[in-house]
Amino acid sequence: MKDQSLRKLQQEMDSLTFRNLQLAKRVELLQDELALSEPRGKKNKDCLRMVNT
């Protein structure tokens, strides 16, 4: 019984570690996409300010 509980907890830990890695990679990808889109967004806002003045 003790071994079975230990195996179950180890499997749960492995599953959570795997999911955590997936989520970390997703966050990194989204941060990269945001970093690439920010300069364009800022440039567009600057252009709008120039047109409005």
Measured CA to CA, the distance from residue 37 to residue 27 in angstroms comes to 15
- What does the pLDDT read at residue 1? 85
- What does the pLDDT read at residue 22? 99
Domain count, the chain: 1
Domain membership of residue 25 as a residue range: 1-53
- In three-state form (DSSP H/G/I as H, E/B as E, the rest C), the secondary structure along 26-50 is HHHHHHHHHHHHHHHHHHHHHHHHH
Structure-token pair, residue 47? 């252009």
- What does the pLDDT read at residue 44? 58
pLDDT digits (tens, 9 = 90+) for 22-35: 999 999 999 999 99
Provide the residue count of the chain: 53
pLDDT digits (tens, 9 = 90+) for 1-53: 899 999 999 999 999 999 999 999 999 999 999 999 987 656 556 655 666 65
pTM to 2 decimals? 0.62
